[in-house]
Structure formats: C-alpha cells, structure tokens
Amino acid sequence: MNSGGTYILVMGVDGPVELTIGRLGVRLFEAGWYTYAGSGLNGLEGRIRRHLRPEKRVHWHIDYLLEAARLEEIWYVYSDKRYECSWYGAASAMPGAGPAIEGFGSSDCGCRSHLVRLEEKPALPEFNTILARRGLPMAAFSCPDSVRMAAGTGRDR
C-alpha cells in the first residue's frame, strides 16, 4: 500500500534547547508541546517510518527537532490531497497555541510555519472538532510505539 496522506507529529520538548535548524540557523525551543504538520503524498507510512528512525540523514527542518524532542503521538489521514497547510491552521487554533519558529517546514508554501507551540499537550478530539468546523477530513490516531513496532524499527529512538 503506497497511499499518501497528511500527518501531525505531537512532540514534547523538555527545553529550553537551542538547535541549528538548517538554513534557519540557531533557534531556541522553549519547554512545551509542539505540533508539526507534514505530508507524504508518495507514501504516508514511509514518511512516518522515516521520522521514527533514530538514524537518518538530516534533511528537513523536522529532522533537527526530532533529535531533541519526544515524539508522543501521530495524527494522520490518508488522502491524495495535501492538507498540511490547513492542518497547521487548525493546530494554530487549538487552545494555548502560540507562535513557534517562522519558516519551519513551510519553505514550499505560503504558510508562516508548519510548527505550532502549545502550553499543554494537545488532544486529538479538540483537533478533530476544529477540522470538522472547517470542513476538513478528521485525523486518526497512532502512538509512536505501535507505529515503530509495525514498521519493524523497535522501541528505541
């Protein structure tokens, strides 16, 4: 199955931590929760498996952050349409959401960012409520451990 789709990574950062994020340079990540909206139109499962791999060539902005963050949940939808910009907007509308790093993950679109910082761990039901109000497809849930085991990557990060 090579179905494409859109996903949200829900991550915790114990921070504060400074990371060099490619051409964005050194950025400070405050302690808290972050969501990152992405897509894998040529294979959603492959993209998620890549994010879960502990060793990989650092390529995308999210690769740098995943070296320091705890990946807690993955929300996703299978679709041949790219929803990452709309899902970033929905994550930005969640309670306690605030600005993150401008330009993070959004170099190929007009979004301010694809990364959102939140005060509390975001909840999938709240996210799906926002998606439904906006007429967007709702997300399914996966926890990294179950995805890692299905991908054959084990439990270690």
* Number of domains into which the chain is organized: 1
pLDDT at 57 over 90: no
pTM: 0.89
Question: Is 89 contained in some domain?
Answer: yes
Question: Is 113 contained in some domain?
Answer: yes
Question: Is 121 contained in some domain?
Answer: yes
Task: Tell me the mean pLDDT in the region 57-65.
Answer: 86
* Contact predicate 45/24, CB 8 Å: no
Question: Is 157 contained in some domain?
Answer: no
* Contact predicate 33/117, CB 8 Å: yes
**Domain around 102:** 5-151
Question: Is 20 contained in some domain?
Answer: yes
